[in-house]
Chains A and B, each alone.
Chain A
């Protein structure tokens, strides 16, 4: 009887751990598997997973490059306030779409984020890149070797990550994102499209201050 109880208890415990683990993963990151995903007029199918609540009334689409200084400044100076006041409480979510044009390492850095997404760590890798950006474009900080070292330090499965990156698995995905950005008139990084609840859109370029985002989103809600 006791033995049976222990076995059943063990099974229940394993299931509970599995459920908790899957919930904790999905709350951090929604893996993008929807190939028909659009927000307003933007096809975000090949973009990042959604940061925040997928059913949030507002979506911020950011077209960016990992080697762009203005994107770096926006990431460090404005994004935290936007996250705290709009994304964390379910008012908005954010999708990053690559406009990787600045240098030869830009597309490969973008591809690497999707290799990390394969292991459920897109946003962690995204954050590592913007925390590791150096002041000079194409000086090697985002080359293949460094990207692999970032993956290693994050504890990713290196065999999977390296085969993904070296094979250029996501090369076309990044190219699709670049063409989607250009199709929407993005001529600088970062460029933002904010899509409201009724699919109304506001597009602007530059790492604009939090006040601009707040004003636009407050008007949409």
Chain B
């Protein structure tokens, strides 16, 4: 596993890509989930009782950066199937959607536009925010595992 990671991230381009995805997703989700505020002052805080949700966002962003960069590596260098890329994007998207708290502007826009249907879907995302994020992390962890395994086999095959 370490060798596979070394193989991918020895290329600075993929390391930068992973860090870029991690940072942008982390900041985006922290703003969306109201851990960071940019107006009227730039301020960050973790309210009491929301520490677990905060940890899940960090894990989700980290895994997204790792898995997406590894799959882009596979597509670019090995010209391989894009199936795992799909599941990693799916996992990241679902995890991010769970953070779109219905109290926030996204929830407000959805509820204002779609009425009771929007309210029901936003309520679902809010009510099951933590389980959805855990499921998204599960999808990303599984994708990570299968990607590492696939890269091992594919790289061995290439070297032979």
Contacts and interface: CB of A to CB of B under 8 A. Distances in A.
A207 B47 contact: yes
B108 A212 contact: no
B26 to A, nearest CB: 18
Interface string A194-212: 0000000010111111011
A interface secondary structure, majority: loop
A74 B57 CA distance: 20
A29 interface: no
Contacts, number: 76
Contact of A212 (B40, B50, B109): B40
A77 B41 contact: no
A206 B48 contact: no
Contacts of B37: 204, 206, 208, 212
B43 A209 contact: yes
B123 A69 contact: no
A212 B101 contact: no
B105 A205 contact: yes
A35 B67 CA distance: 59
B127 A136 contact: yes
A204 to B, nearest CB: 5
B45 A188 contact: no
Nearest to B108: A187
Given A73-B49, A73-B50, A136-B127, A189 B103 contact: yes
A76 interface: yes
B54 to A, nearest CB: 12
B43 A212 contact: yes
B127 A135 contact: yes
Interface of A: 65, 68-71, 73, 76-77, 101-104, 135-139, 187-190, 202, 204-209, 211-212, 215-216
Given A102-B122, A139-B127, 15 more contacts: A73-B47, A76-B48, A76-B49, A102-B107, A102-B119, A104-B116, A104-B119, A187-B105, A188-B105, A189-B103, A202-B40, A204-B39, A209-B45, A212-B37, A216-B40
